[in-house]
A and B are shown apart, each in its own frame.
Chain A
Amino acid sequence: GENVEQHPSTLSVQEGDSAVIKCTYSDSASNYFPWYKQELGKGPQLIIDIRSNVGEKKDQRIAVTLNKTAKHFSLHITETQPEDSAVYFCAASKGGGSNYKLTFGKGTLLTVNP
């Protein structure tokens, strides 16, 4: 089955700096890669996603890149703010048909210091 590795497990940055979280996946058939942000006491919230026919996607301060050949994808947060502090999860899925379930990475605790 699919396996997703996520690094680092913790990341501490100064406000205004950039943060990068990296994930690798094992199943070349995976074609959908969402990123979730989980704040304390809440469920994971989708912040950005990318499909395998796209190499990069950006939404304001957040961007995701995908390298299908190397089977890895990354989350980039620029100009970090204290409210970006949370646990971030990457996931992979074979979207479509009966292949829909998400395989998650173990999460990255991001701390943005004011």
Chain B
Amino acid sequence: EAGVTQFPSHSVIEKGQTVTLRCDPISGHDNLYWYRRVMGKEIKFLLHFVKESKQDESGMPNNRFLAERTGGTYSTLKVQPAELEDSGVYFCASSQDMGTGGVFGPGTRLTVL
């Protein structure tokens, strides 16, 4: 089966611009998670979808971040406007079982200049 895919693999933008990251989970996986790793720090949870519904968005840093999962398939994470501290690697993971960590995608490296 195809794994979790993320697009783009890298994105370099200037402060104040908007960026949209996309995640395509493994087909049939209802659970979709977003995580972020800021340079030198641990991977941190952002939010969790079950199908198209946000189950937990307690990790979202602020209202500049907007995640959607239309139709319960792929998901997008929009950052608007981007700030320097948003730089990092954004990972998406998907799973069928809510009690497991899921399969991770390769990540999107975001650099805000």
Which residues of A approach B to under 8 Å, CB–CB?
Answer: 4, 32, 34, 36, 41-46, 49, 89, 91, 93, 95-98, 100-107
Q: Which of B2-38 contact A (CB under 8 A)?
A: 4, 6, 31, 33, 35
Nearest Cβ distance between residue B111 and chain A, in whole angstroms?
15
Q: Which of B54-113 contact A (CB under 8 A)?
A: 55-56, 59, 91, 93, 98-101, 103-107
Contact of B99 among A32, A103, A104, A106 (CB under 8 A): A32
Assess whether A107 is in contact with B42, with CB atoms less than 8 Å apart. Answer: yes
Q: Across the interface, which residues of B come within 8 angstroms of A45, CB to CB? A: 104
Assess whether B43 is in contact with A32, with CB atoms less than 8 Å apart. Answer: no
Nearest Cβ distance between residue A75 and chain B, in whole angstroms?
15
Q: Across the interface, which residues of B come within 8 angstroms of A107, CB to CB? A: 42
CB within 8 Å for A43 and B45 given contacts A100-B98, A101-B33: no
Query: What are 6 A-B contacts with C-beta separation under 8 Å?
Result: A4-B42, A43-B104, A49-B101, A102-B33, A104-B43, A105-B42
Nearest Cβ distance between residue A32 and chain B, in whole angstroms?
6
Main secondary structure of the interface of B (DSSP, over half): strand
Assess whether B43 is in contact with A44, with CB atoms less than 8 Å apart. Answer: yes
CB within 8 Å for A95 and B104 given contacts A89-B43, A100-B31: no
Query: Whose C-beta in chain B lies nearest to the C-beta of A103?
Result: B45
Considering residues A42, A44, A97, which has the most beta carbons from chain B within 10 angstroms of its beta carbon? Answer: A44
* Interface residues as binary, B32-52 with A (CB distance below 8 Å gives 1, 0 otherwise): 010100000111110010000
Contact of A102 among B45, B55, B105 (CB under 8 A): B45
Contact of B59 among A34, A42, A101, A106 (CB under 8 A): A101
What 8 pairs between A and B have smallest CB-CB spacing? A95-B99, A43-B104, A104-B43, A101-B45, A34-B101, A106-B42, A43-B106, A104-B42
